[in-house]
């Protein structure tokens, strides 16, 4: 390293000066293959152990082959012109050589390599000091060259690429699918629970790390082995952290040179396919082993990692994983995300913002694809970043609910740092581009109009003044059904949630004593009626017989009414809300015992709890918009009544952690709002409502705040 520093001090401009004196020579280890991309011939060129591959036109590849390190630029131009019969000047050759100077397609001398190595090391040091742990999206930990290892491994695993093994793998995946379908609810639920890091212990985190690292290494090794299968080399593999999650990467660049379209697709599919086949084997292990064994538990954890997670994460083409590269090859567009984003960004800047930017040409038939993909991919990536921040917040919230927002905010700023900087640069460009135009547009007359508009927005009472509060849904009518006569439950006709009409039977009671007494009274009434009839015919003792008949008739009606009450019916139309009615048969109910509850939900009411300070603006008849937590669209109503006294908030309507000890919770008054319902509103559904109190100006809002603040302390 001291020699390199000496060279740097002695020859600080070695790359620029030597480039003019030393003639370029093509790197002899380059590998090139001809491909057709979008109907155009291209040569894909790669240097083994290089940093990537290059796309050259046939003319550029032909010219590169003439760089032998001996011929001058003029001689190379003459040779090229003689071979292709196309004019190629010395200046054109020199420009092409200058473009190649920053690539690894030309061979350098020892002195140049030393200078370039020093420059590279310095840049890497600066980048490492600046962003190794600063760029949370990619923190490189270790890297190595696995080519020799894969060369030794491939002869033992090449049977994996035979047709018979792929058919066997399809059969195994089919068996796995059948097992998944039979246990779908459990596996689907546990997959989300596994990736939910909010309720994991430290041991759980270590387990997730280890298993995820194993699966990631297995996945990337499948890519590398497939590259070897198609004749390429794999000279880069490493371990990194993506937002603190363990990941591996494998450099499969050479498959783009050695393979055609389907070879590239097979290489991208290899990781997904290998995980699915592996998942099918561990699924059989989980299915066959007894619960409680460690191998049973480990196999199940591998299932939730390699099963649904593979499909959801890797097949998705909106993020640059395997699905993205497969989709790009299928549609024949390389660097789809970069090109589509650049196209949409350029169109927005030029057509919407009016900036003088150049938009790269895109064929007309592909413009809808580029636009749709750029929007969908951007939204998906931002959602993923927000999910990462939310998970971090949930994890910290377990330990410190009051301060969980601090690390979440810092992580969000770090995650979106580059986006915020890009937005800042864009706003700066917009300002520099538009400031002269804006200044020229603001003539004295327009300044007066603008000032008038600002004053209007500040002092005009056009802004809605609303009163917000939490509420819960209650039925307008509620009927509590009780046993009017004692008896034993014989049969239940309804269950919880059943919709019943007025007079519909709910259950039937049996009371043998009452039913026997009613039958005896009916028989006595029949005898008394016969006696009264005979007495009337004989004109003897009719009065006493008639009084006896009337007494027995009254008793019979009373007992018949009690017997009819053994059939319990609903007095109103509504929904049965009492749970576990199916447990009642065989039980004995005393007179007055509660049986069931029926709520009439054809119209409901809500009690919205407003703080006492808002009572000065609350009026009966005021319109209100109510947003239930379980519904997307709001519903509208009007205030019907206002409670004259404060009430306590129902338990669970407002989270307790929302109020700190230093916050004094105000008193709440309940305002009742009646709403029509088509069955979608159920009792107990919570939500947030806004009651319209009128309109006020911005200055009025500010004045009220200052007035209330001052006069609360000075009065």
Lowest mean pLDDT among 81-85, 112-116, 552-556, 679-683: 112-116
Positions of E strands within 370-462? none
With b for 16 or more beta-carbon neighbours within 10 A and e for fewer, the 64-80 pattern comes to bebbeeebebeebbbbb
User: Looking at per-residue confidence, does 336 or 680 come out higher?
Assistant: 336
Q: How many Å from the N-terminal Cα to the C-terminal Cα in the chain?
A: 79
Residue with tokens 């499948």: 222
pLDDT digits (tens, 9 = 90+) for 611-640: 888 888 888 888 888 888 777 778 888 888
What CATH number matches the domain at 2-131, 3.30.780, 3.40.50, 3.90.930, 3.90.1070?
3.90.930
Residues 6+ apart with CB under 8 A from 648: 668
Residue with tokens 């694809």: 369
Confirm if 227 and 267 have CB atoms less than 8 A apart: yes
Two tokens at 265? 């697709």
Q: Rounded CA gap, 686 and 653, in Å? A: 7
- pLDDT at residue number 168: 92
pLDDT digits (tens, 9 = 90+) for 439-495: 888 888 888 898 999 999 899 988 888 888 888 888 877 888 888 888 888 888 888
- pLDDT at residue number 216: 84
In this prediction, residue 135 has a pLDDT band, given cuts at 50, 70 and 90, of low
- The percent of the chain in helix, strand and coil, each rounded to the nearest 5, is 55, 20, 25
- pLDDT at residue number 200: 65
CATH of domain 464-472+601-713: 2.40.30.170
CA–CA distances in Å: residue 480 to residues 461, 578, 583, 592, 603: 49, 10, 18, 11, 18
User: Which uninterrupted H or E stretch holds 599?
Assistant: strand 594-611
Q: Is the pLDDT of residue 116 over 70?
A: no
Long-range contacts of 409-415 (CB under 8 A, 24+ apart): 411/136, 414/134, 414/136, 415/136, 415/137, 415/243, 415/385, 415/388, 415/389
Residues 6+ apart with CB under 8 A from 521: 552, 555, 556, 559
pLDDT digits (tens, 9 = 90+) for 520-565: 888 888 887 887 787 777 776 777 778 888 888 888 888 888 888 8
* Dihedral sign from CA coordinates of 215, 216, 217, 220: positive
Q: Is the pLDDT of residue 244 over 90?
A: no
Confirm if 674 and 603 have CB atoms less than 8 A apart: yes
Q: Rounded CA gap, 692 and 687, in Å? A: 17
Q: Is the pLDDT of residue 301 over 60?
A: yes
- pLDDT at residue number 164: 92
Q: Is the pLDDT of residue 125 over 70?
A: no
Domain residue ranges in the chain: 2-131, 139-332, 334-414, 464-472+601-713, 474-594
Residue with tokens 């046939």: 58
Average pLDDT (160-186) is 89
Q: Is the pLDDT of residue 395 over 90?
A: no
* Mean of all residue pLDDT scores within the chain: 80
User: Looking at per-residue confidence, does 520 or 50 come out higher?
Assistant: 520
* Residue 29 backbone zone (phi > 0: left; psi -120 to 50: alpha; other: beta): alpha
In this prediction, residue 16 has a pLDDT band, given cuts at 50, 70 and 90, of very low
Nearest to 136 by CA among 394, 397, 389: 389
pLDDT digits (tens, 9 = 90+) for 182-200: 888 888 777 777 766 666 6
């Amino acid at each position: 390293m001291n020699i390199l520093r000496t060279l740097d001090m002695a020859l600080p401009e070695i790359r620029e000066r030597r480039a003019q004196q030393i003639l370029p020579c093509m790197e002899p280890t380059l590998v090139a293959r001809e491909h057709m991309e979008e109907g155009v011939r291209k040569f894909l060129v790669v240097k083994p152990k290089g940093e990537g591959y290059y796309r050259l036109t046939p003319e550029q590849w032909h010219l590169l082959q003439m760089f032998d390190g001996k011929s001058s630029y003029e001689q190379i131009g003459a040779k090229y012109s003689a071979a292709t019969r196309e004019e190629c000047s010395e200046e054109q050759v020199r420009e092409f050589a200058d473009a190649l100077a920053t690539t690894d397609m030309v061979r350098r001398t020892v002195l140049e390599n030393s200078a370039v190595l020093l420059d590279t090391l310095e840049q890497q040091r600066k980048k490492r000091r600046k962003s190794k742990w600063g760029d949370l999206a990619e923190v490189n930990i270790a890297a190595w060259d696995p080519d020799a290892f894969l060369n030794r491994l491939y002869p033992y695993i090449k049977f994996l690429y035979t047709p018979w093994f792929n058919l066997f793998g399809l059969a195994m995946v089919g068996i796995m699918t059948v097992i998944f379908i039979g246990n779908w609810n459990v596996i689907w639920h546990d997959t989300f629970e596994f990736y939910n890091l909010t309720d994991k212990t430290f041991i759980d985190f270590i387990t997730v790390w280890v298993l995820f690292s194993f699966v990631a290494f297995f996945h990337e090794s499948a890519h590398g082995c497939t590259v070897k299968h198609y004749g390429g080399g794999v000279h880069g593999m490493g371990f990194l952290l993506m937002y603190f999650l363990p990941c591996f990467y494998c450099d499969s660049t050479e498959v783009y040179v050695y393979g055609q379209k389907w070879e590239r697709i097979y290489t991208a599919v290899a990781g997904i396919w290998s995980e699915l086949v592996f998942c099918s084997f561990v699924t059989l292990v989980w299915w066959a082993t007894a619960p409680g064994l460690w191998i049973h538990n480990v196999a199940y954890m591998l299932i939730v990692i390699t099963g649904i997670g593979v499909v959801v994460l890797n097949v998705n083409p909106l993020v640059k994983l395997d699905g993205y590269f497969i989709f790009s090859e299928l549609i024949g567009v390389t660097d789809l995300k970069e090109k589509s984003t650049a196209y949409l960004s350029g169109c927005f800047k030029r057509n919407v913002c009016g900036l003088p930017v150049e938009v790269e040409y895109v064929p007309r038939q592909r413009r809808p694809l580029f636009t749709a993909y750029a929007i969908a991919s951007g939204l998906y990536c931002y959602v993923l970043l927000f999910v990462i921040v939310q998970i971090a917040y949930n994890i910290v919230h377990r330990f410190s609910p009051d301060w969980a927002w601090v690390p979440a905010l810092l992580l969000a700023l770090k995650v979106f740092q580059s986006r915020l900087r890009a937005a800042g640069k864009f706003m700066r460009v917009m300002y520099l581009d538009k400031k002269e135009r804006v200044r020229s547009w603001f003539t004295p007359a327009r300044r007066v109009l603008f000032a008038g508009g600002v004053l209007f927005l500040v002092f005009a009472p056009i802004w809605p003044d609303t009163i917000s509060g939490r509420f819960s849904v209650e039925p307008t009518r509620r009927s509590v059904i009780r046993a009017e006569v004692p008896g034993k439950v014989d049969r239940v006709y309804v269950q919880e949630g059943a919709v019943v009409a007025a007079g519909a039977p709910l259950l039937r009671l049996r009371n043998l004593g009452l039913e026997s007494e009613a039958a005896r009274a009916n028989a006595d009434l029949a005898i008394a009626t016969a006696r009264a009839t005979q007495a009337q015919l004989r004109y003897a003792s009719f009065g006493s017989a008639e009084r006896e008949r009337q007494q027995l008739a009254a008793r019979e009606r009373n007992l018949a009414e009690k017997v009819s009450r053994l059939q319990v019916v609903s007095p109103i139309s509504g929904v049965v809300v009492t749970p576990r009615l199916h447990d009642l048969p065989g039980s004995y109910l005393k007179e007055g015992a509660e049986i069931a509850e029926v709520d009439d939900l054809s119209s409901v009411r809500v009690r919205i709890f407003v703080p006492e300070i808002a009572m000065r603006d609350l009026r009966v008849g005021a319109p209100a918009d109510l947003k239930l937590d379980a519904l997307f669209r709001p519903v509208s109503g009007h205030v019907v009544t206002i409670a004259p006294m404060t009430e306590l908030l129902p338990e669970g309507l407002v989270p307790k952690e929302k109020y700190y000890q230093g916050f004094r919770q105000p008193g709440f008054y309940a305002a009742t709002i009646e709403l029509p319902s088509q069955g979608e509103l159920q009792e107990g559904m919570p939500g947030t409502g806004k009651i319209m109190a009128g309109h006020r100006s911005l200055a009025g809002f500010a004045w009220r705040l200052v007035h209330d603040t001052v006069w609360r302390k000075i009065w």
